[in-house]
Amino acid sequence: MKQENVLNLGNARLNVQIRLVSLALFAMTVITFGFAISAVPISGANVVGEGIPYPYLDTLGQFPKDYAWQVFAIIQLIIFIRLFSIFPNAVLSSHRHHADTARAFALASGIILIIDYYVQFSVVPIGLRSGELDGLPLLIQYNSHGLFMVLEEIGYIMMSAAFIFMGQCFVDASRKIAVLRWILRLPLLVGAVIFALISVKVGLDRKDSLEIWILSIDWLVMLVATLMLQYSMIGLWRARHDRHEVPTVAVVKSGTRENQLVKAGKNQGTAPYSACSNSSQAEGSRTSLSISAKIWGSKRRSG
């Protein structure tokens, strides 16, 4: 049976928060992408020209140009973690386990990549400048067999897993939701295929090929997904407690034969029912209210 996705009117603050965070994540991803593209590779599988050979100890001249994007990436990852932290609160309770799993993968991805980037621009440049070179080549980002590259790979694989579990939280059968689910599956599926192809071709000597592919796909999917959340999809979630019907409030005006049925919470941020209008005083007629909370009232009495 198709589940109906309805925006939980009692959770207006949460929905606004998700929209703002997704918009901030989109903007920061665009900025980070721009700075990352400007950092031309000087080593690895995609090097332009001859490149710089191991041990990469004469790369101080690349600072800060090749390091600036990592500062923005840290901000991007903090926003990414924030989005996945509040995301489970806007998901149907029956799909909460998928949202919690997505949050766990997002947190793991964020922690790994933030540490990786922070160590890179905080340790490597000052180490090169100070002549503290022992063990430094293992940390330098230009070393395609170093820790920086490996941590990026596992970090963005974790991000791909977060996306695929995020997609499982959307339960509507519409075409838009189906497209979003497949978009969120792409990073992990494409990454697995690319990893297999590279491993068959070069074995362990994959250099930065996998890292560039999976990073680019994750960021592109992040841009598309945040746009869809911002403009189309946020209204298709329900809060985890929104499993009950919304109580109906009946407002009957005496002196007129007008009956109005008002959904509780129709005006976001208001109380479950509205007070009497002052228009009756201007008309000089008496106004009486008959308020019946058909669902909540019965549940409270039974409880």
More confident residue, 5 or 61: 61
pLDDT band for 232, please (50, 70, 90 cuts). low
Taking residues 141-152, report their average pLDDT.
92
Judged against a pLDDT cut of 50, whether residue 163 lies above it is answered with yes
Distance CA 77, CA 186 (A): 20
pLDDT band for 92, please (50, 70, 90 cuts). confident
Q: What is the mean pLDDT of the chain?
A: 76
Distance CA 142, CA 56 (A): 7
Distance CA 285, CA 169 (A): 52
Judged against a pLDDT cut of 50, whether residue 253 lies above it is answered with no
CB atoms within 10 A of CB 41: 17
Taking residues 238-248, report their average pLDDT.
40
The pTM for the full model equals 0.73
pLDDT band for 231, please (50, 70, 90 cuts). low
Distance CA 189, CA 290 (A): 57
Task: Report the candidate in 211, 82, 104 with the shortest Cα–Cα distance to residue 151.
Answer: 211
The residue ranges of every structural domain in the chain are 9-236, 248-302
